[in-house]
């Protein structure tokens, strides 16, 4: 199978280049990651992240034929050749398919992604109704792969100011949690021309999310709450 892969090693390359490969696949090779591992066994200089190989750790996000996705759950059968592989767009490239995700995680951390509830905890669990717990479905499953934020033009333009879809999805995950007591501060933290309101509902995030989550919907819900508390 034919591949065209973005290569860049700052120690050797003045600028990035595209390298073509023909990979002889094994009949058991099912996913794009299988092909990359087969390739790496012959050219060990190709650098990419990977770990769980089942779509739950979020390591192997990359730009595959122009669309962000996880290599480990992208079936080779569905890919047009030559398969064009590039690093996630909009983030600095460290080497080959490995990007520097500091900015992405900085935005995630900026939403205070942890439960805030300063009442003394009971001896047992805090109770939560099944209906209240359901509010977290579609939110807590995020794997922080960054496919969404690096597909978002608003994030490309303002990665330092716009929280981005992944961070906002997690902001809403805590706003929506009946056990969290910090909704107002969480909204204050996003009330800013950039942090939340740079989302222009382009919905690339929804289109690429490998876990089928919907950051745009979460963002809309945060905006609704903002409006509700001002009236």
Partner 1 sequence: MTVPVRQFDAVIVGAGGAGMRAAIELAEAGLSVAVLSKVFPTRSHTVAAQGGIGASLGNMSDDNWLWHMYDTIKGSDWLGDQDAIEYMCRMAPQVVYELEHFGMPFDRNADGTIYQRPFGGHSANFGERPVQRACAAADRTGHALLHTLYQRNVRERTQFFVEWMALDLVRDAEGAVLGVVAMEMETGDVYVLQAKATIFATGGAGRIFAASTNAFINTGDGLGMTARAGLPLEDMEFWQFHPTGVAGAGVLITEGVRGEGGILLNCNGERFMERYAPNLKDLASRDIVSRSMDQEIKEGRGCGPHKDYVLLKLDHLGPDVIMKRLPSIREIAIKFANADPIKEPIPVVPTIHYMMGGIPTNIHGQVVAPRHGDPGVVVEGLYAVGECACVSVHGANRLGTNSLLDLLVFGRAAGDFIVSRNLAALAHKALPPDAGDASLARLARLDAATSGERVADVGNELRRTMQSHCGVFRNEALLAEGVAKVMELEDRVARSAIDDKSRTFNTARVEALELDNLIEVAKATIVSALARHESRGAQARSDYPNRDDVHWLKHTLWYREGNRLDYKPVHLTPLSVESFPPKARTY
CB atoms under 10 Å from CB of 34, counted, come to 18
16 lies in the site for partner 1, by CB under 8 A:
no
Task: Output the smallest distance, CB 45 to partner 1, in A.
Answer: 4
**With CB under 8 A as the contact rule, which of the stretches 83-91, 124-132, 157-165, 183-191 interacts with partner 1?**
124-132
Is the CB of residue 26 less than 8 Å from the CB of residue 38?
yes
**50 dihedral zone (left: phi>0; alpha: psi -120 to 50; beta):** beta
Segment 98-102 long-range contacts (CB within 8 Å, at least 24 positions apart) = 98/47, 98/48, 98/49, 99/150, 101/146
The residue within the footprint of partner 1, chosen from 1, 76, 79, 94 (CB under 8 A), is 94
Q: Does 113 bind partner 1 (CB under 8 A)?
A: yes
Among positions 124, 200, 227, 228, the unique one binding partner 1 when judged by CB under 8 A: 124
Max intra-chain CA distance, the chain = 63
Query: Contact positions toward partner 1, by CB under 8 A?
Result: 9-12, 28, 30, 40-41, 43-45, 47-59, 73, 75, 94-96, 98, 101, 105, 109, 112-115, 117, 121, 123-130, 132-133, 136, 140-141, 143-144, 174, 177, 179-180
């Amino acid at each position: 199978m034919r591949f065209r892969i973005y290569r860049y090693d700052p120690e050797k390359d003045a600028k990035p280049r595209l390298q073509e490969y023909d990979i002889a696949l094994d009949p058991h090779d099912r996913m794009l990651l299988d092909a990359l591992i087969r390739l790496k066994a012959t050219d060990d200089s190709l650098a990419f992240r990977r770990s769980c190989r089942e779509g739950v750790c979020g390591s192997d996000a990359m730009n595959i034929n122009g669309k962000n996705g996880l290599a480990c759950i992208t079936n080779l059968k569905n890919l047009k050749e030559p398969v064009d592989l590039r690093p996630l767009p909009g983030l600095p490239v460290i080497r080959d398919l490995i990007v520097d995700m500091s900015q992405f995680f900085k935005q995630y951390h900026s939403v205070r992604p942890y439960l805030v509830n300063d009442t003394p905890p009971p001896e047992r669990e805090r109770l939560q109704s099944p209906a209240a717990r359901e509010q977290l479905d579609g939110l807590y499953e995020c794997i922080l792969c960054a496919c969404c934020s690096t597909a978002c033009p608003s994030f490309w333009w303002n990665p330092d100011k716009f929280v981005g879809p992944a961070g906002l999805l997690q902001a809403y995950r805590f706003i929506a949690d009946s056990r969290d007591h910090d909704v107002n501060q969480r909204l204050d933290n996003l009330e800013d021309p950039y942090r939340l309101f740079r989302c222009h509902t382009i919905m690339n995030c929804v289109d690429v999310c490998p876990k089928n989550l919907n950051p745009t919907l979460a963002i809309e819900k945060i905006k609704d709450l903002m409006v509700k508390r001002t009236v």
